[in-house]
Each structure stands twice: as C-alpha cells, then as structure tokens.
Chains A and B, each alone.
Chain A
C-alpha cells in the first residue's frame, strides 16, 4: 500500500465517515474515468461512480487491508461496470455495435474540434472492445498499472494479461489504423 492508501486505511479504521470522505476525494476521479470507458457518456458515468461508492461504503467493514485498497476498489468498479454494460445490453437501450454508438463525448470534451474528434474516436474504439479486452486496456493505458497489478485485479495470470493486451491492441489497430494513416490524430 502506498502512503496515501495507508493513511486512508488508518482513517477508515479510526472513523468510518471521516475515512470514507478521504477515500472519495482520492478515488472518485479514478472511478469516474473507468466508468466512462464502459458507458461512453458522463451522466451514466457519474451515476455509476455513485453506485460504486455506495457499494464500497456498504462493504467497508469487510475490507481487512489484506490487499491494496486501490486493487479492492478497481475490482468493485470493474464488476459494477460489467453489470451495468450487461444490464444495458439486456434492456437494449444502448448498443455498442459499430453502427450504433450512443456517445455524448462532444459535451464531455468541449475543446477544439480536432481534440474533440480525437477524444471521440478514442472512446469509441475502447467501447468497441469486448469487456475482457477493454478491462486490460483501461488498466494498462489509462490507469498505468503493471501486468502484476492487472493480474491481481482481474484474478488471472500475467500471461493472460499479456495475451489480452496483444489481442486488444490488434483490434484497436484495425479500428484506428485508417485514422492514423490519415495523419489527423497524432
């Protein structure tokens, strides 16, 4: 556990409410950004972030500090995001098919047109990945986690992480290569 995690864990043991406030301040952005990579819009991501934090608060008593606090939070976040995607798929409100992507990234990243287009393309390409491949790309590229940490969070071997990353990048290559060739994105 890093210093900040230790500090939050101690605060949680001393006073649940106080500790939870520190936890929310430290991790809410992380949870929101992961959720965004599963939903594609900010409103749903904020709802999902609240959902994750409510679960975290409920389960705080069961966290004994045997693993990293962040690992535990990543697990809860990813599981909640998976449930959300499955629920949405069942309801068929949002489809992540190539032809029907429901994004609001225009509102979420309202900078220059060029940046907006690039950001939209990045999130669209991530949303097109199957869940297992999306998990590893999010944890590696957006959260900068090591193979060992990713394997711990996803409860799989380092070899599996490696092969999923390879497959995810192959898929991203197929989606993004035409745009990269145009030279508009980099």
Chain B
C-alpha cells in the first residue's frame, strides 16, 4: 500500500467502517510509514476533541407550546391564502373579464369590417362582364349618393 491509498482508507479506519482486508493493509502501512503514522495520530486527536463537545439540554421546549404555535401559524397561513384568493376573485377576475370582452369585441369588429364584404364583392363580380360591372358601380355610386343626401 502507498501513502495515497492510505489517505483514502484513513477516514474509514478512524470511523470503524473499514473491511478486514483493508484494515490489515492499513495497519501494515502505518507501522512502516512515519508520516502516515503522524497523520493518523493527528486525525484521531481531532476526532476525540470534536467528540468532547458538551451536549446542551432543551429545558425550555414544551410540546403543548409547540402545538399551540403550530396551530396558530396554520390559521395564519389559511388566512393569508384566503386573502390572496379574495384579491384574485375581487380584483383580477373582473379586470381580466373586462379586458377579454374588449379584446373579443375589437376582434369581431375588425373581422366584420373587412372580410365578409370583400368576399361577397369578389363573388358577385367574378361572373359579370366589364359593362355589367361598370353599370353596377354606377348604381352603387348613385345609391351611396342618395344615402349621403
């Protein structure tokens, strides 16, 4: 085993998560290599030191108190949700409906203004001779003059 392989096994060895084969290889290497022995000693010291951290005791935490707070927060959340829903219903829905109606009206006006009449005009003129068309134009002009008067 070389020093690089040793480093990969060091963590597992310290944490007792190493298998038997790796363990014997690790032990053999550590007996021969002074640097790795030093590294191992330091890591063990650090592990022992961190594990010395004292545990705190939670004296102020009470289940009933938590339940009351959780229920209160849940009610607040529901109120907030209802508020948002009412804003959507009272403000956004009417505004969107009006906007949609205006757009629909505009679209329908623009459709009726152009396409249907043009299509009718093209249809009528398609089967007529040049003279008939000019007569028809004269009639239309006359008719529109009368309308204007």
Q: Which residues of A contact B (CB under 8 A)?
A: 17, 20-21, 23-25, 28-29, 31-33, 36, 42, 45-46, 49-50, 53-54, 57-58, 108-109, 115, 118-119, 122-123, 125-126, 137, 140-142, 146-147, 162, 165-166, 169, 172-173, 176-177, 180, 185-186
Is B47 interfacial (CB 8 A cutoff)?
yes
Q: Known contacts A28-B58, A32-B61, A58-B70; is A142 also within 8 Å of B53 by CB? A: yes
Chain A residues contacting B56 (CB-CB under 8 Å) are: 29, 32-33, 36, 42, 45, 108
Residues of A within 8 A of B54 (CB): 109, 115, 119
Closest 10 CB pairs of A and B: A24-B63, A21-B63, A28-B58, A57-B70, A32-B58, A141-B50, A28-B61, A54-B70, A166-B11, A53-B66
* Set A23, A28, A53, A176: member contacting B49, Cβ < 8 A: A176
Docked complex Cα distance between A172 and B63 (Å): 36
Tell me whether B111 is interfacial, beta carbon within 8 Å.
no
- Is A173 within 8 A of B55, CB to CB? no
Cross-chain contact of B48 among A29, A42, A146, A186 (Cβ < 8 A): A186
Q: Which of B17, B52, B55, B66 contacts A146 (CB 8 A)?
A: B17
* Chain A proximity mask over B98-110: 1 for CB below 8 Å, otherwise 0: 0000000000000
For residue B43, CB closer than 8 A to chain A, the reply is yes
A125: chain B residues at CB < 8 Å are: 50
Shortest Cβ distance from residue B103 to the other chain A in the assembled complex, whole angstroms? 42
- Shortest Cβ gap from A93 to chain B (Å): 22
With A and B bound together, what is the CA distance between A17 and B67 in angstroms? Answer: 8
B53 contacts A49, CB within 8 Å?
A: no
Shortest distance in angstroms between A32's beta carbon and chain B's nearest beta carbon? 4
B42 touching A29, Cβ below 8 Å: no
B43/A54 in contact, CB under 8 A: no
> What would 22 A/B residue contacts be, using CB atoms closer than 8 Å?
A20-B63, A31-B58, A32-B56, A42-B56, A45-B56, A49-B58, A49-B61, A53-B61, A53-B66, A54-B69, A57-B66, A119-B52, A123-B53, A126-B50, A140-B15, A141-B47, A162-B17, A166-B7, A169-B43, A173-B46, A177-B42, A186-B49
